Chain A
Protein backbone atom coordinates (compact mmCIF):
# COMPACT_ATOMS: atom_id res chain seq x y z
CA UNK A 1 0.00 0.00 0.00
CA UNK A 2 1.36 3.37 -0.99
CA UNK A 3 1.00 5.97 1.72
CA UNK A 4 0.05 9.62 1.33
CA UNK A 5 0.69 12.06 4.13
CA UNK A 6 -1.35 15.24 4.36
CA UNK A 7 -0.52 18.30 6.37
CA UNK A 8 -1.75 20.02 8.33
CA UNK A 9 -4.40 17.77 9.82
CA UNK A 10 -6.54 20.73 10.88
CA UNK A 11 -6.63 24.29 9.61
CA UNK A 12 -8.85 27.08 10.90
CA UNK A 13 -8.66 30.47 9.24
CA UNK A 14 -10.61 33.70 8.92
CA UNK A 15 -12.62 34.50 5.80
CA UNK A 16 -10.53 36.07 2.99
CA UNK A 17 -7.27 34.57 4.24
CA UNK A 18 -5.23 32.19 2.08
CA UNK A 19 -4.40 28.57 2.90
CA UNK A 20 -2.28 25.74 1.56
CA UNK A 21 -2.69 22.01 2.12
CA UNK A 22 0.12 19.59 1.35
CA UNK A 23 0.09 15.97 0.22
CA UNK A 24 3.35 13.99 0.18
CA UNK A 25 4.36 10.46 -0.67
CA UNK A 26 7.54 8.44 -1.05
CA UNK A 27 5.98 6.71 -4.06
CA UNK A 28 5.30 7.89 -7.58
CA UNK A 29 1.68 7.99 -8.66
CA UNK A 30 0.40 7.96 -12.21
CA UNK A 31 -2.11 10.61 -11.16
CA UNK A 32 -3.29 12.36 -8.06
CA UNK A 33 -6.78 13.53 -7.18
CA UNK A 34 -8.10 16.08 -4.72
CA UNK A 35 -11.54 15.69 -3.18
CA UNK A 36 -13.61 17.84 -0.85
CA UNK A 37 -16.04 16.23 1.53
CA UNK A 38 -18.70 18.05 3.51
CA UNK A 39 -20.15 16.54 6.73
CA UNK A 40 -22.62 13.76 6.02
CA UNK A 41 -21.87 13.68 2.30
CA UNK A 42 -19.59 11.74 -0.04
CA UNK A 43 -16.31 13.17 -1.35
CA UNK A 44 -16.60 15.33 -4.45
CA UNK A 45 -13.81 15.25 -7.01
CA UNK A 46 -12.15 18.65 -7.44
CA UNK A 47 -9.28 17.93 -9.80
CA UNK A 48 -6.98 15.30 -11.29
CA UNK A 49 -3.31 16.07 -11.93
CA UNK A 50 -1.30 13.77 -14.13
CA UNK A 51 1.86 15.46 -15.41
CA UNK A 52 4.83 16.29 -13.18
CA UNK A 53 4.99 20.05 -12.59
CA UNK A 54 1.38 20.49 -13.64
CA UNK A 55 -0.60 23.42 -12.26
CA UNK A 56 -4.38 23.56 -12.47
CA UNK A 57 -6.67 26.35 -11.37
CA UNK A 58 -10.30 26.03 -10.38
CA UNK A 59 -11.57 29.52 -9.56
CA UNK A 60 -9.84 30.37 -6.26
CA UNK A 61 -8.24 26.93 -5.92
CA UNK A 62 -4.78 26.20 -7.35
CA UNK A 63 -3.44 22.66 -7.52
CA UNK A 64 0.18 21.72 -8.14
CA UNK A 65 1.70 18.33 -8.88
CA UNK A 66 5.38 17.98 -8.01
CA UNK A 67 7.93 17.41 -10.73
CA UNK A 68 8.63 13.89 -9.44
CA UNK A 69 4.88 13.11 -9.17
CA UNK A 70 5.21 12.30 -5.48
CA UNK A 71 3.70 15.38 -3.91
CA UNK A 72 0.97 17.90 -4.46
CA UNK A 73 -0.45 21.03 -2.92
CA UNK A 74 -3.79 22.77 -2.84
CA UNK A 75 -3.84 26.53 -2.37
CA UNK A 76 -7.04 28.47 -1.72
CA UNK A 77 -7.00 32.21 -2.22
CA UNK A 78 -9.35 34.44 -0.23
CA UNK A 79 -11.09 31.53 1.47
CA UNK A 80 -14.83 31.65 2.03
CA UNK A 81 -17.01 29.84 4.58
CA UNK A 82 -18.24 27.65 1.72
CA UNK A 83 -14.72 26.23 1.40
CA UNK A 84 -15.12 24.55 4.79
CA UNK A 85 -14.75 20.78 4.56
CA UNK A 86 -12.45 17.78 4.64
CA UNK A 87 -9.90 17.90 1.84
CA UNK A 88 -8.56 14.54 0.73
CA UNK A 89 -5.75 13.79 -1.66
CA UNK A 90 -5.66 10.39 -3.32
CA UNK A 91 -3.11 8.67 -5.54
CA UNK A 92 -4.25 6.27 -8.25
CA UNK A 93 -2.69 2.84 -8.67
CA UNK A 94 -4.21 -0.08 -10.57
CA UNK A 95 -7.87 0.99 -10.37
CA UNK A 96 -7.59 1.79 -6.66
CA UNK A 97 -7.03 5.01 -4.76
CA UNK A 98 -4.75 5.47 -1.78
CA UNK A 99 -6.14 8.28 0.33
CA UNK A 100 -4.34 10.65 2.61
CA UNK A 101 -5.77 11.08 6.11
CA UNK A 102 -7.34 14.39 5.10
CA UNK A 103 -7.14 18.01 6.18
CA UNK A 104 -10.13 19.50 7.96
CA UNK A 105 -10.46 23.13 6.88
CA UNK A 106 -12.69 25.56 8.76
CA UNK A 107 -13.22 29.04 7.36
CA UNK A 108 -14.73 31.42 9.89
CA UNK A 109 -16.95 34.29 8.75
Chain B
Protein backbone atom coordinates (compact mmCIF):
# COMPACT_ATOMS: atom_id res chain seq x y z
CA UNK B 1 0.00 0.00 0.00
CA UNK B 2 1.18 3.53 -0.77
CA UNK B 3 2.00 5.29 2.42
CA UNK B 4 3.94 7.81 4.49
CA UNK B 5 6.45 6.28 6.90
CA UNK B 6 8.12 8.00 9.81
CA UNK B 7 11.06 6.72 11.79
CA UNK B 8 11.51 6.36 14.60
CA UNK B 9 8.02 6.40 16.14
CA UNK B 10 9.49 7.42 19.48
CA UNK B 11 12.69 9.38 19.99
CA UNK B 12 14.29 10.35 23.27
CA UNK B 13 17.12 12.86 23.28
CA UNK B 14 18.94 14.96 25.81
CA UNK B 15 18.74 18.70 26.11
CA UNK B 16 21.01 20.19 23.46
CA UNK B 17 21.80 16.90 21.70
CA UNK B 18 21.07 17.04 17.95
CA UNK B 19 18.40 14.73 16.62
CA UNK B 20 17.20 13.80 13.14
CA UNK B 21 13.73 12.53 12.29
CA UNK B 22 13.05 10.87 8.98
CA UNK B 23 10.09 10.56 6.65
CA UNK B 24 9.67 8.53 3.50
CA UNK B 25 6.78 8.19 1.09
CA UNK B 26 5.73 5.76 -1.60
CA UNK B 27 2.97 8.04 -2.92
CA UNK B 28 5.35 9.90 -5.27
CA UNK B 29 3.85 13.21 -4.14
CA UNK B 30 5.83 16.30 -5.02
CA UNK B 31 5.00 18.27 -1.86
CA UNK B 32 6.22 17.25 1.60
CA UNK B 33 5.55 18.94 4.92
CA UNK B 34 6.82 18.90 8.48
CA UNK B 35 4.47 19.82 11.30
CA UNK B 36 4.92 20.13 15.05
CA UNK B 37 1.97 19.15 17.21
CA UNK B 38 1.77 19.66 20.94
CA UNK B 39 -0.77 17.98 23.16
CA UNK B 40 -4.42 18.63 22.19
CA UNK B 41 -3.40 21.34 19.71
CA UNK B 42 -3.63 21.58 15.96
CA UNK B 43 -0.56 20.72 13.88
CA UNK B 44 1.72 23.71 13.32
CA UNK B 45 3.48 23.89 9.96
CA UNK B 46 7.27 24.21 10.23
CA UNK B 47 8.22 24.05 6.54
CA UNK B 48 7.35 22.42 3.27
CA UNK B 49 9.02 21.42 0.04
CA UNK B 50 7.43 21.87 -3.35
CA UNK B 51 9.68 19.48 -5.25
CA UNK B 52 13.12 20.75 -4.18
CA UNK B 53 11.90 24.27 -3.46
CA UNK B 54 12.19 24.80 0.31
CA UNK B 55 9.63 27.01 2.07
CA UNK B 56 10.20 28.02 5.68
CA UNK B 57 7.40 29.36 7.87
CA UNK B 58 8.27 32.78 9.28
CA UNK B 59 7.95 31.65 12.90
CA UNK B 60 9.88 28.38 12.58
CA UNK B 61 12.86 28.59 14.96
CA UNK B 62 16.36 28.54 13.45
CA UNK B 63 16.98 25.45 15.55
CA UNK B 64 14.91 23.47 13.03
CA UNK B 65 16.25 22.56 9.62
CA UNK B 66 15.18 20.20 6.90
CA UNK B 67 16.64 18.27 3.99
CA UNK B 68 14.97 16.59 1.05
CA UNK B 69 17.58 14.60 -0.85
CA UNK B 70 15.05 13.11 -3.27
CA UNK B 71 11.31 12.85 -3.91
CA UNK B 72 10.81 10.01 -1.45
CA UNK B 73 12.71 11.18 1.61
CA UNK B 74 12.63 14.19 3.88
CA UNK B 75 14.49 14.80 7.16
CA UNK B 76 13.89 17.11 10.08
CA UNK B 77 17.03 18.14 12.00
CA UNK B 78 16.76 19.74 15.41
CA UNK B 79 20.18 21.16 16.14
CA UNK B 80 19.91 21.83 19.86
CA UNK B 81 16.64 20.50 21.26
CA UNK B 82 15.17 22.33 24.20
CA UNK B 83 12.47 21.16 26.58
CA UNK B 84 9.95 23.19 24.60
CA UNK B 85 10.66 21.13 21.49
CA UNK B 86 9.12 18.02 23.00
CA UNK B 87 6.16 17.27 20.77
CA UNK B 88 4.75 15.01 18.08
CA UNK B 89 6.38 15.67 14.71
CA UNK B 90 4.25 14.87 11.71
CA UNK B 91 5.30 14.45 8.11
CA UNK B 92 2.73 14.83 5.36
CA UNK B 93 2.67 14.64 1.58
CA UNK B 94 0.40 16.06 -1.07
CA UNK B 95 0.06 16.33 -4.81
CA UNK B 96 -2.26 19.34 -4.82
CA UNK B 97 -1.59 20.97 -1.45
CA UNK B 98 -5.10 20.59 -0.15
CA UNK B 99 -5.39 16.87 0.53
CA UNK B 100 -2.49 15.97 2.71
CA UNK B 101 -1.58 12.47 3.78
CA UNK B 102 0.07 12.19 7.14
CA UNK B 103 2.51 9.71 8.55
CA UNK B 104 2.00 8.23 12.02
CA UNK B 105 4.30 10.79 13.61
CA UNK B 106 7.42 10.71 15.78
CA UNK B 107 6.95 11.45 19.47
CA UNK B 108 10.03 13.39 20.65
CA UNK B 109 10.95 13.49 24.31
CA UNK B 110 13.68 15.85 25.53
CA UNK B 111 15.28 15.02 28.86
Contact = CB atoms under 8 A, between A and B. Distances in A.
A104 B42 CA distance: 11
Interface residues of A, number: 24
Contacts, number: 59
A95 B99 contact: no
Given A97-B45, A99-B42, A100-B42, A45 B100 contact: yes
Interface in B71-111: 88, 90, 92, 94, 96-105, 107
Nearest to B106: A42
Given A40-B107, A42-B90, A97 B41 contact: no
A104 B40 CA distance: 8
Given A40-B105, A42-B103, A42-B105, A30 B98 contact: yes
Nearest to B10: A40
Contact of B97 (A35, A40, A88, A96): A96
A33 B97 contact: no
Interface in A32-68: 33, 35, 40-45, 48
A45, A88, A96: residue with the most chain B Cβ atoms closer than 10 Å: A96
Contacts of A40: 88, 104-105, 107
Interface string B35-54: 00000111101001010000
Contacts of B104: 40-42
A19 interface: no
Closest 8 CB pairs of A and B: A95-B97, A92-B98, A42-B102, A99-B42, A31-B98, A42-B105, A43-B102, A42-B104
